[in-house]
Structure 1
């Protein structure tokens, strides 16, 4: 049995196992799970957070990709009736099916190599998620929480903030992990809007406008969006075509996307 506890972090899974008890307690306090809630942990690893999440009395589903960790997790938590283990890839997971009418609270120490695509995958299921608490690379959290006008403001900031309220809770140093990563980490809370401040007529078009705008972020909208709309069309929604994309707020991008949605040839 001891060999199960000597699992080495795998580089290909981007594993860095959290071991600092103070940090673990602080994360659990931020999540503040309660009996009757449905928690979902992505990438439980060796179960550093899992035990505390179960202690809250909540029902806990965990999704773990590394099949070598499955015996360890079953050994530690398998007898708890509140615990359900899913071996698989969270990027391909159907969270709506798991929710089954409930609202999920999602938690995870996310591998840096999949954090952005996984967040976008979760946003597709935002209607069944009440909140998300993630450990991410600090620079990713800074991008998530960025404001217009700065270098961190971009596609990730806009699309996540379109769907969610973002809170950068606190930073975590490399020493809290084994092995220590070469970067600082941070905890972020994402809370899907019950009512969005701005509504895109076609969210896929909003994604497309934002992606095109930031493909060459040093260029002006007149250039980056020319394949989608004319300078006159940009100006018609109150946006100056000579601006660069980082100078626009979410409301401006939504206006551009909605103007595009109203153009018959773009449908």
Structure 2
């Protein structure tokens, strides 16, 4: 008989156990035979096993080596499970997409969820979709519209790369041990190459990071050094605006202008 694993605080582990929530997540993923499934942080395998049975094969990336053998034993008759004992931030996800785009699933540790999201974005061209369980407030930031306090760097960068769909709320009692925050499940679907913004990724990252670096200041102040007031006006944007008032497409124009000014030699 498999004994329940003891959650480790230093890994930020909270194991999902609510059967209804598990079923709803599995239904949302709707895995099919042959899907290239990758699970980040499988834990005790409550999502791993039903997904593995549906798809026939699954790659699970787990940092805690103590969870590997119990998970391998549970999955022995469910399908072909490939376990990777590694920090997901050091995994080349592109190497896992050998035949078709990846379908990524994960109950992400709260303390490192944003870095994992940005890491996955680097491989968006290799990904079909992502279903993540995250802190509720993070999901709200991911899907936030311009103008509110939740809208920020994460909102802009994700919405320019993916369709963001919050799917369901997950109460703290659904986990062992219960976290001090509520959770939610979100679906991210990378945009097709045809509709992705035509902008240098590093320029976009720098402009968005600087614009939101000091939220209370105007763009004319936060972007000083990369774009002057005339450059900002040339993008159809008032330099007296704050970053939280701009739509994601506005940041694309600013980043394009930034790239153009860097490419133009000074007279």
- Given the two structures, how large is their TM-score scaled by the length of structure 1? 0.96
How far the C-alpha of 1:114 sits from its partner, in A, is 1.0
How far the C-alpha of 1:55 sits from its partner, in A, is 1.8
Alignment-derived partner of residue 228 in structure 1: 226
Secondary structure in 2 matching 1:56 = helix
Alignment-derived partner of residue 119 in structure 1: 117
How far the C-alpha of 1:197 sits from its partner, in A, is 4.1
8 Å contact 1:35–1:56 — kept in the other structure?
Answer: yes
Q: Deviations over 1:188-220 (max 9, x none)?
A: 000000146451421110010000000000110
How far the C-alpha of 1:36 sits from its partner, in A, is 1.4
Structure 2: gaps spanning 5 or more residues: none
Structure 1: gaps spanning 5 or more residues: none
Q: Which runs of structure 2 are paired with 1:198-237 in the superposition (5 Å)?
A: 199-237=197-235
Alignment-derived partner of residue 244 in structure 1: 242
How far the C-alpha of 1:80 sits from its partner, in A, is 4.7
Alignment RMSD, CA only? Answer: 1.5
CA pair 176-215 structure 1, distance change in 2 beyond 3 A: same
Alignment-derived partner of residue 52 in structure 2: 54
Q: Deviations over 1:151-202 (max 9, x none)?
A: 1110000001111000011100001000000000000000000146451421
* Among 24, 27, 45, the residue aligned to 1:26: 24
8 Å contact 2:53–2:79 — kept in the other structure?
Answer: no
- Given the two structures, how large is their TM-score scaled by the length of structure 2? 0.96
CA distance, structure 1, for counterparts of residue 196 and residue 73 of structure 2: 47
Q: Deviations over 1:31-56 (max 9, x none)?
A: 00001111100000000101110121
CA distance, structure 1, for counterparts of residue 189 and residue 56 of structure 2: 19
